[in-house]
């Protein structure tokens, strides 16, 4: 029996509608939540992401502005821009689009962002708030994972959760969020022994390792919930066959475009899991929706305004 598909696009749409209502309530009290996005250079993928964030801001009633610096911009120039945005009261959220050019000290720039405006949730102060369950800004993708579980009525309390991947951006914060919701959490990585065996214990399995189709059927307990955070572009014909043999629709896409998207979870897992997020259309849409939620949350926290249940999550 095929797994229940957890529709991230539908959930993201629900969240955006709730954020729009929160933004409208803020505006009625004379506050328009504002987001500043900082982009360095003209990387096509980054430009697409930034356009999406600016467009989404307008759709939910947030003020947004984009600051594009030349590829040659120095660490000092970026720090000066961040300092100016920190001072502005009309800017509640600051997002520095990554990756930055190699000559820029990325850690120094991210550390310079005021923690109360850190809508990416990467600042050590917000990481500390998360680990000690204090109000703060949670990284967008992990926050989205939790919203998928919550809105899909997947029980978390008491569940055995396994995360494959220990990045600061996804793996570690997802682990902390699940732990805060009283799951029993195991974090796996490239040095984990008997990885399939460890993963098979999971009631909730989160794949965030960045390797196409790594999690195959023998990693998954029948009926488990599988959250696939990975987005990988497959261009090799042999790799395509490993993942999508017999899938005519995907074959047509591969033949016409020369590539297909796949997550960190092999498609065969959909026949074993109880519920699964698709790629595309699973976790991905939640990232920008949660960025919008974080911007409103930042505006509320900075002004001592009571938060809704969504923004608090």
Are 243 and 266 in contact by the 8 Å Cβ rule? The answer is: yes
Roughly how many angstroms between the first and final C-alpha of the chain, as a whole number?
A: 32
Residue 172 a catalytic site member: no
- Tell me if residue 218 is catalytic: no
Nearest to 187 by CA among 206, 211, 169, 213: 206
Cα separation, 68 vs 290, in Å, equals 23
Region of 88 please: left (phi>0), alpha (psi -120 to 50) or beta.
beta
257 is catalytic: no
Tokens standing for residue 138: 């949670």
Tokens representing 258?
């020369």
Burial class (CB in 10 A: 0-12, 13-18, 19+), 256: exposed
CA dihedral 76, 82, 87, 92 (to 10 degrees): 180
Of the candidates 92, 118, 120, 228, the residue annotated as catalytic is 120
Residues marked as catalytic: 53, 97, 120
């Amino acid at each position: 029996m095929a797994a229940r598909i957890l529709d991230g696009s539908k959930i993201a749409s629900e969240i955006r509608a709730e954020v729009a209502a929160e933004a409208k309530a803020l505006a009625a009290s004379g506050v328009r939540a504002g987001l500043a996005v900082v982009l360095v250079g003209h990387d096509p993928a980054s430009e697409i992401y930034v356009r999406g964030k600016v467009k989404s801001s307008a759709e939910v009633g947030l003020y947004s502005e984009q600051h594009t610096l030349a590829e040659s911009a120095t660490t000092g120039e970026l720090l000066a821009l961040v300092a100016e945005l920190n001072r502005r009261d009309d800017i509640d959220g600051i997002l520095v689009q990554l990756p930055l050019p190699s000559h820029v000290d990325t850690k120094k720039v991210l550390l310079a962002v005021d923690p109360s405006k850190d809508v990416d949730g990467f600042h050590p102060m917000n990481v500390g708030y998360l680990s000690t369950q204090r109000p703060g800004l949670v990284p967008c993708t992990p926050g989205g994972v939790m919203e998928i579980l919550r809105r899909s009525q997947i029980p978390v309390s008491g569940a055995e959760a396994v995360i494959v991947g220990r990045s600061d951006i996804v793996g570690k914060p997802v682990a902390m969020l699940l732990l805060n919701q009283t799951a029993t959490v195991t974090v796996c990585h490239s040095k984990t022994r008997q990885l399939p065996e460890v993963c098979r214990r999971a009631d909730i399995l989160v794949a965030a390792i960045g390797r196409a189709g790594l999690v195959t059927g023998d990693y998954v307990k029948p009926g488990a919930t599988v959250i696939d955070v990975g987005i990988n572009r497959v261009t090799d014909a042999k790799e395509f066959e490993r993942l999508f043999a017999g899938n005519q629709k995907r074959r047509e896409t591969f033949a016409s475009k020369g590539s297909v998207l796949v997550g960190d979870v092999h498609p065969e897992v959909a026949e074993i899991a109880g519920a699964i997020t698709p790629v595309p259309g699973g976790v991905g849409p939640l990232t920008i929706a949660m960025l919008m939620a974080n911007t409103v949350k930042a505006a509320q926290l900075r002004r001592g305004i009571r938060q809704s249940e969504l923004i608090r999550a």
